[in-house]
Copies of this chain bind each other. A is one copy, B any other.
Amino acid sequence: MLVALKKNLAETEKQDVIAKIENMGFLVHLIEGTNKLVLGGNKNTGSFDPRKIKVIDGVLDVHKITTPYTLAGKEYREDNTVIKIDDVTIGGKQLSIMAGPCSVESEEQIFRIAKIVAENGVKILRGGAFKPRSSPYSFQGLGEQGLKYLRAAADEYGLKVITEILQNQHIEMVYKYTDIFQVGARNMQNFALLKDLSTTNKPVMIKRGISATVEELLMSAEYILAGGNPNVILCERGIRTFEKYTKHTFDLSSIPVIKDKTHLPVIADPSHAAAIRRYVPPMALAAVASGSDGLMLEIHDEPEKALSDGPQALLPNQFGELLNSAKEIAMVVGRSL
């Protein structure tokens, strides 16, 4: 931490400030010829609240210079984390595609769509059984019955499953059916949920909150890592901005930044950001070009009948065409699909 003192502070006032800071457990270095202090020696600087120093009389400003996360950082681990679920890998040279409907709506629907997913060479099936909806009057998902259909459909077609977990009490139940836990954007800072997920042995994909910074996303990953679960996947799915023509602004600049700051894999979800079908393919291709480790895509064979988010679901033929183009772009940037 670096502390700037006010100008024209008398020597005794300066010593006073230093004494107060030393009492907080810091080693204080006064930079000769300046009115600036560098603090060291406190083992908890990551979680220390710099305002404790800011309110001391004589202090002008305080600057934190340690990154608040440790285990998620490149300094902790240089080579990329590659997550393996049997023969499926996430974070390696090959891009990971996760596809399926927004919600599991019926046994027939998820079997039909799982078939399309598998026929396109995709290995991970997505589908929600518990849906967080802003209105209490909207469809809330099929619950455990939906999970059963999802697992059965995935097994029928040799797919892995990713599905959203909404609350701590459901962890044991969802664990039985899924291969990857998905934490939604609204729960990115539901620390109680993150803590309990940190003790399971299945991978967790955390979606970035709609107004969260990348640093905050990495802090949420740190919760999982600190609890002992090394298999964390990050997901960019769009942030809230003033733009009105898209539901969210797909922050693709976050992809190279995340690859620069952490060893964890990052997946891009263009469906939720664009929210309108025709904007999804260009955004998916852009995500691959930007260096994303994979894509999460919503598809539906009868989107006009979908119980949630039908308008953003790709049609089966669009999905196939998109994967072909994505494959070509992947090669341009040194990846495969």
Contacts and interface: CB of A to CB of B under 8 A. Distances in A.
Interface in A268-293: 273-279, 282-283, 285-291
A63 B2 contact: yes
Contacts of A277: 55
Contacts of A325: 332-333
Given A34-B40, A210-B211, A257-B246, A166 B191 contact: yes
A201 B133 CA distance: 24
A254 to B, nearest CB: 7
Interface stretch (A80-88, A91-99, A108-116, A309-317): A309-317
A93 to B, nearest CB: 16
A332 to B, nearest CB: 5
A304 B215 CA distance: 27
A78 B241 CA distance: 29
A11 interface: no
Nearest to A140: B191
A65 B63 contact: yes
Contact of A168 (B168, B223, B283): B168
Chain B CB within 10 Å, residue with most, of A40, A168, A239, A257: A257
A192 B164 CA distance: 13
A7 interface: yes
Contacts of A289: 282, 285-286, 288-289, 329
Do most interface residues of chain A lie in helix, strand or loop, or is the interface mixed? mixed
A227 to B, nearest CB: 8
Contacts of A249: 239, 241, 249, 251, 253-254
A49 interface: yes
Nearest to A287: B286
Contact of A36 (B38, B130, B195): B38
A132 B191 contact: yes
Given A135-B219, A136-B219, A213-B244, 6 more contacts: A31-B38, A49-B311, A55-B303, A256-B282, A289-B329, A329-B329
Interface of A: 2, 4, 6-7, 29, 31-34, 36, 38, 40, 44, 46-47, 49, 51-52, 54-55, 61, 63, 65, 67-68, 75, 130, 132-139, 166-169, 186-187, 189-193, 195, 210-216, 219, 222-223, 226-227, 238-246, 249-257, 260-261, 273-279, 282-283, 285-291, 303-304, 308-312, 325, 328-329, 332-333
